[in-house]
């Protein structure tokens, strides 16, 4: 009898595990501290920890898939993934194509250069500035700064390497991302003040979801409210950005 009961319980547990919802998150994992690949070839970062916390609330399984940044939103449109979490600015233009959760991170942008190379933002005229291809930073440079050449890269790591080697003059990216470079390089400076522009950088980072998946959007927004209320969000934030 005990064996029958045990077998039944194991069967129920297996069935529940098999039925557990999986949420497939796409991200571009060269964007520390938001997402990056560690020495064990596993994707880590603020976005990963936050997504896992949301999945715990939803009682779903998270999986993370490394994709080029400019393919994230097209991949959602074609339903290759359920959501994209990768430091994606909530902008009006993107909201025409996908839905976004409530903002989970307030964002700004910054120019970085090698010390002594670029005096201020006015001196960027005639310079080559690296940006991530498909990003709002690329749009901002192209449409707002006359005389500045936006040089697109598949990742900010590639742009940073080219700046260090003198192939470009500056890099323009999210403040939290470029701030990571200062921790390991003492030859960098910020060029001017941080840039905030709602048209290009939106109202913070959000999780992007296919417009037809209202159910997932509602679940993620509810879970986001939960982790902010119970202190989990603050724990994750302080882990990566300090108190």
Is pLDDT of 14 > 90? no
Q: What is the DSSP string of 37-48?
A: E-TTS-EESHHH
Is pLDDT of 12 > 90? no
CA 140 to chain centre: 18
Least confident segment among 4-8, 78-82, 117-121: 4-8
| Helices 156-164/175-182 angle, 10° precision | 50
Question: 19 pLDDT band (50/70/90 cuts)?
Answer: low
pLDDT for res 7: 46
Q: How far apart are CA 23 and CA 217, in angstroms?
A: 12
Among residues 158, 196, 154, 199, the alpha carbon closest in space to that of 175 is found at: 196
Among residues 185, 174, 221, 212, the alpha carbon closest in space to that of 98 is found at: 212
Domains in the chain (CATH in brackets) are 17-105+204-241 (3.40.190.10), 109-201 (3.40.190.10)
pLDDT for res 243: 55
pLDDT for res 15: 43
Q: How far apart are CA 224 and CA 98, in angstroms?
A: 18
pTM metric for this prediction:
0.78
Q: How far apart are CA 111 and CA 99, in angstroms?
A: 29
pLDDT for res 200: 87
Is pLDDT of 10 > 80? no
Q: Per residue in 21-37, pLDDT tens?
A: 899 999 999 999 999 99
SS3 218: helix
Which one-letter DSSP state was computed for residue 12? H
pLDDT for res 214: 97
Q: How far apart are CA 99 and CA 97, in angstroms?
A: 7
With beta carbons less than 8 A apart as the criterion, state whether 53 and 111 touch.
no
Is pLDDT of 6 > 60? no
Q: Per residue in 34-83, pLDDT tens?
A: 999 999 999 999 999 999 999 999 999 999 999 999 999 999 999 999 99
CB-based contacts of 142-148 (< 8 A; 24+ apart in sequence): 144/197, 144/200, 148/124
| Helices 46-58/232-241 angle, 10° precision | 170
pLDDT for res 120: 93
pLDDT above 90 as % of the chain: 79
Is pLDDT of 9 > 60? no
Task: Return mean pLDDT, the chain.
Answer: 90
Q: How far apart are CA 9 and CA 60, in angstroms?
A: 21
pLDDT for res 125: 95
């Amino acid at each position: 009898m005990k064996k029958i009961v045990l077998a039944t319980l194991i069967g129920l547990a297996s069935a529940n595990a098999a039925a557990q919802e999986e949420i497939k998150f796409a991200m571009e994992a060269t964007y520390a501290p938001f997402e990056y690949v560690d020495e064990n070839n596993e994707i880590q970062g603020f976005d990963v920890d936050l997504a896992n916390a949301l999945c715990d609330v939803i009682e779903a399984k998270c999986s993370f898939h490394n994709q080029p940044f400019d393919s994230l939103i097209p991949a959602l449109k074609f339903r290759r993934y359920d959501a994209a979490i990768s430091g994606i600015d909530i902008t009006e233009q993107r909201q025409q194509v996908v839905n976004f959760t409530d903002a989970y991170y307030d964002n700004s942008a910054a120019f970085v250069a090698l010390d002594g190379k670029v005096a201020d933002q006015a001196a960027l005229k005639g310079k080559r500035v690296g940006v991530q291809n498909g990003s709002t930073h690329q749009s901002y440079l192209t449409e707002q700064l006359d005389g500045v050449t936006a040089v697109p890269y598949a990742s900010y790591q590639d742009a940073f390497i080219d700046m260090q080697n003198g192939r470009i003059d500056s890099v323009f990216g999210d403040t939290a991302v470029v701030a990571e470079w200062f921790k390991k390089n003492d030859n960098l400076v910020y060029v001017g003040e941080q840039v905030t522009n709602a048209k290009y950088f939106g109202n913070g980072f959000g999780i992007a979801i296919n417009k037809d998946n209202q159910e997932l959007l509602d679940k993620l927004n509810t879970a986001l409210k939960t982790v902010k209320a119970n202190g989990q969000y603050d724990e994750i934030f302080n882990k990566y950005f300090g108190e």
